[in-house]
Amino acid sequence: MIILHNHLSKESREFVAANGTGNIVLSWYEGGREQFESIGGHKKISAFPSVIIHVPTHNVTHYEEDNIAVKDTILRQAAHMVVRDPVSMSDVDKEIDNINIVLSKSGDHGVTVAQLNRQSALHRSDTWWKSQL
């Protein structure tokens, strides 16, 4: 798991204390921002802590105003998403559940994607991060 951390934030310090062991922790104001930017990460993060989740390539369907007729379907490339300000890992799990709702609909439109779980979503972020160093 990649955690974007602000050592000045009490909430961020508490989250890192509870979840940082064995994970990649980028301390934003102690070189983490530059590390994250150097591999294409966004330079402005609105909340700390933040957790990076890998979202695989999938289809996204846009519907007409009636929510029945398909307007278009686009292929969204794999990307990383930021879960902002989680209090605990259950907040991260809820976001993974929301992503899975979108991924489950992707199969209806040509791209079947395996559902994410905490390990797969966070491990892929770690693997990607380590490949960029």
pLDDT for residue 121: 76
Strand partners, 83: 51
- Quote the pTM value: 0.78
Cα 87 from Cα 127, distance rounded (Å): 24
**Residue 15: DSSP 8-state:** H
CA 63 to chain centre: 25
Q: pLDDT per residue over 20-71, tens digit each?
A: 998 889 999 998 888 888 777 777 787 899 998 888 888 887 777 776 766 7
Asked if residue 55 lies in contact with residue 79, where contact means CB atoms within 8 angstroms, the answer is yes
Kind of pairing, strands 79-84 and 50-55? antiparallel
